[in-house]
Amino acid sequence: MKIIVGKSENSMNHYAKNCIIDVIKTNDQPVLGLATGSTPVGMYQALIQAYRQGEVSFKDVTTFNLDEYVNLASDDPNSYRYFMNDQLFNHIDIQLDHTFVPNGNTTDHQQACLDYEQEIDQHDHLDLQVLGIGTNGHIGFNEPGTSFESRTHVIELEPSTREANARFFASLDDVPTHAITMGIETIMESKAILLIARGADKKQAVKELVDGKRSPDFPASALKTHPRVTMLLDEAAASLLD
Ligand code: F6R
């Protein structure tokens, strides 16, 4: 795993933006895996700015998001579909029907998972998957204990994950209990991975990822055998590394 420690938030956003633009410019039909949460917001702003300055076009880009809450309408401001439209897609020239987010708002979630896998399959593979990391080591919403062979599936969110995400909701009770997430095997099939971590509350998880063993108890550790992982860290997230 390649580790890059950014000296400033700006330099991290700049680096991440350039990774994405590089994928877009070197592929005829680029396929990006994207994440929500606080971590990628600055990167999305940098991409919007690059688009406005004519540095990049997204018209041939397809995107697949990692996850979506179960039973939130797509126009609910807390849904990840809403987040992606609001934070990125509405501000660039991407074709919205080339942007995929798991469909959590359906009566048949198992079918939604199969449909998502099939859609990814039809695009062959992801060229680059952007990841954040949970303090418990989750990637996507693959909570500790998730099999490394998992494909897109429904998962019950851990109490710690619901608490961490409650900041976006009116109350903890409003945070959905379940989500659909790409599986770990699905993520591992991406040609390259960019994992971004910021802030001191991620330092333990980063340390465990770098120095710990590969085990489903710590889902991000699956990445240890991926041939092309870059970890982009701020100084606080990297502070426990040797
Ligand atoms: C988001 C996702 C999650 C987050 C993780 C970190 O789509 O899949 O794994 O990346 O929970 O969240 P933040 O960035 O809010 O700290």
CATH number at 223 reads: 3.40.50.1360
CA gap 87, 43 in Å, rounded: 10
> Best of 44, 66, 126 to mutate for ligand 1, by most ligand atoms within 8 A of CB?
66
For residue 202, give the ligand 1 atom closest to its CA: 16
Q: pLDDT, tens digit, for every residue of 71-84?
A: 999 899 999 999 99
Mean pLDDT of 183-202: 98
For residue 35, give the ligand 1 atom closest to its CA: 7
Number of domain units in the chain: 1
Q: What's the 76 CA to ligand 1 centre distance in angstroms?
A: 18
> Ligand 1 within 6 A of 132 CB?
yes
> Ligand 1 within 6 A of 39 CB?
yes
Q: pLDDT, tens digit, for every residue of 94-128?
A: 999 999 999 999 999 999 999 999 999 999 899 99
Helix 9-26 vs helix 41-52: angle between axes, to the nearest 10 degrees? Answer: 60
pLDDT at 200: 98
Residue with CA at minimum distance from ligand 1 atom 8: 140
Range of the domain at 189: 2-241
The token pair that represents 61 in the structure block: 């880009």
CA gap 41, 237 in Å, rounded: 17
Q: pLDDT, tens digit, for every residue of 219-240?
A: 999 999 999 999 999 999 999 9
pLDDT at 222: 98
Asked if 91 is an active-site residue, the reply is no
Asked if 138 is an active-site residue, the reply is yes
**Strand segments (E) across the chain:** 2-6, 31-34, 62-65, 67-69, 99-100, 128-131, 153-156, 178-181, 193-197, 229-234
Q: What's the 83 CA to ligand 1 centre distance in angstroms?
A: 12
Asked if 67 is an active-site residue, the reply is yes
Report the Cα 66 to chain-centroid distance in Å. Answer: 5
pTM over 0.90: yes
Asked if 143 is an active-site residue, the reply is yes
